Structure 1
Amino acid sequence: MYHSVGDRSEDPYRITVTPERLDAQLGWLRRRGLRGVSVAGLLAARARGEDRGLVGLTFDDGYADFVTHALPCLRRHGCGATLFVLPGRLGADNAWDPLGPRKPLLTADGIRHAAAEGVEIGSHGLTHVDLTTADDATLKAETAESRALLTELTGAPVTGFCYPYGTVDARAAEAVRAAGYAYACAIDPGPLTGPHALPRVHVGERDTAVRLLLKTRLHRLRRRPATGV
């Protein structure tokens, strides 16, 4: 689970990795015989029994620096990825982070460019709202409406969802399922783990080779089997 790729001079939430660090982390994967792919690609390969050596890479929020910094690095290492974006904040910024700094989000053209480069586009909701506290109307807009808008924007089916803040409960997961998504990503969903609440590991600037190795092992120990994926 990545977010922004770029300048880290201000990074109170530790959501940013430098392009150099991302390059080193993807290189670490490749040296271990692993390759980054989209989540949809990973799940399809798993269904065929062909997921050995594949790692799902996700980038949350849809920062503009994905196109300028992350995408060239992914291409250099032959990796795919899933980009979770916010169609209700096209060309805006991360106003949901009170401490800042303000980071620009992708425009519609930026999202289409990423899609044309083979990146899977998924929904991160409409405006980055915690779905576990949303009322019924907001919950529907953040799930179903965001999917419809992204389908229209990209001209392709949108099958993946990512819960803002990584927070999920049974009601939110059911709303995502009802909106027609094939899968959804969380962070550490515990008993809810399954196709619509997939666990992920946060990757940050401090994650060197040793920390990445420890994280992969810890992730295997703490996650529950995801039945049906």
Structure 2
Amino acid sequence: MYHSVGDRSDDPYRITVTSERLEGQLAWLRRRGLRGVSMTELLAARARGGARRLVGLTFDDGYADFVTEALPLLRRWGCGATLFVLPGRLGGDNAWDPLGPRKPLLTAAGIRYAAAEGVEIGSHGLTHIDLTRADDLALQAEVTESRERLAELTGARVDGFCYPYGTVDVRAVRAVREAGYAYACAIDPGPLTGPHALPRVHIGQNDTAWRLGLKYRLHRLRRRPVGGW
């Protein structure tokens, strides 16, 4: 689970990795015979029993630096990824982070460019609200309308959803499943773990080679098995 790539001189939420750090992390994967892929590719391979050497790479929020900083590195290292974006904030910024700093989000053109380069585009909701606190109308809009807008924007089916803040409950999972998404990503959903509440590992600037190795080995021990396939 990544967010922003670039300058991290002001990074109170630890959501940013430098380009140099991301390149080192991708190189670490490749040296071990692993390859970063989109979530759809990972799950399709898993269904065939062939996901052993694959790692799903996700980038939340749809920051503009994905196209300028992350995408060239993904191409250089032969990796794919899923980019979760907010169609209700196209060309805006991360106004939901009260401490800042303000980071620009991708425009519609930027999202289309990423999609044309082979990046899977998924929904992060419309505006980045906590779905567990949303009323029924807002929940429906964040889940269903965001999917419809992205399908229209990219001309492609939108199969993936990502819960803002990683917060998830039974009601949110049900809404996402009923909206037609094939899968959804959370962070550590505990007993809700399944196709529509997939666990992820946060990767940050401090994740050097030995920390990556530790996280890779511990992930299966810390997370519940994903059933329901």
Return the alpha-carbon distance in structure 1 between the equivalents of residues 22 and 146 of structure 2. 29
Q: Displacement, 1:50?
A: 1.2
Return the alpha-carbon distance in structure 2 between the equivalents of residues 101 and 52 of structure 1. 38
How does 1:1-229 map onto structure 2 within 5 Å?
Answer: 1-229=1-229
Q: Which amino acid aligns with 2:11?
A: D
C-alpha distance after superposition, 1:87-134 (max 9, x if no partner): 000000000000000000000000000000000000000000000000
Return the alpha-carbon distance in structure 2 between the equivalents of residues 27 and 80 of structure 1. 14
Return the alpha-carbon distance in structure 1 between the equivalents of residues 215 and 131 of structure 2. 27
Return the alpha-carbon distance in structure 1 between the equivalents of residues 54 and 228 of structure 2. 18
Can you give the 5+ residue segments of structure 2 that lack an aligned partner in the other structure?
none
Return the alpha-carbon distance in structure 2 between the equivalents of residues 167 and 222 of structure 1. 18
Q: Displacement, 1:11?
A: 0.2
Q: Displacement, 1:78?
A: 0.1
Q: Displacement, 1:197?
A: 0.2
Return the alpha-carbon distance in structure 2 between the equivalents of residues 129 and 4 of structure 1. 18
Return the alpha-carbon distance in structure 2 between the equivalents of residues 65 and 112 of structure 1. 14
Q: Which amino acid aligns with 2:91?
A: G
Matched residue SS, 2:46:
helix
C-alpha distance after superposition, 1:27-82 (max 9, x if no partner): 00000110000000000011111112000000000000000000000000000000
C-alpha distance after superposition, 1:9-36 (max 9, x if no partner): 1000000000000000000000011000
Matched residue SS, 1:83:
strand
Matched residue SS, 2:215:
helix
Name the TM-score, length of structure 2 as normaliser.
0.99
C-alpha distance after superposition, 1:139-162 (max 9, x if no partner): 000000000000000000000000
Q: Which amino acid aligns with 1:55?
A: V
Return the alpha-carbon distance in structure 2 between the equivalents of residues 222 and 9 of structure 1. 31
Can you give the 5+ residue segments of structure 1 that lack an aligned partner in the other structure?
none
Q: Displacement, 1:218?
A: 2.0
Q: Displacement, 1:225?
A: 1.1
Q: Displacement, 1:6?
A: 0.5
Matched residue SS, 2:213:
helix
Return the alpha-carbon distance in structure 2 between the equivalents of residues 219 and 12 of structure 1. 25
Return the alpha-carbon distance in structure 2 between the equivalents of residues 52 and 192 of structure 1. 24
C-alpha distance after superposition, 1:160-201 (max 9, x if no partner): 000000000000000000111000000000000000000000
Q: Which amino acid aligns with 1:150?
A: L
Matched residue SS, 1:63:
coil
Return the alpha-carbon distance in structure 2 between the equivalents of residues 78 and 162 of structure 1. 24
What percent of counterpart residues are identical? 82
Matched residue SS, 1:215:
helix
Q: Which amino acid aligns with 1:119?
A: V
Return the alpha-carbon distance in structure 2 between the equivalents of residues 223 and 146 of structure 1. 29
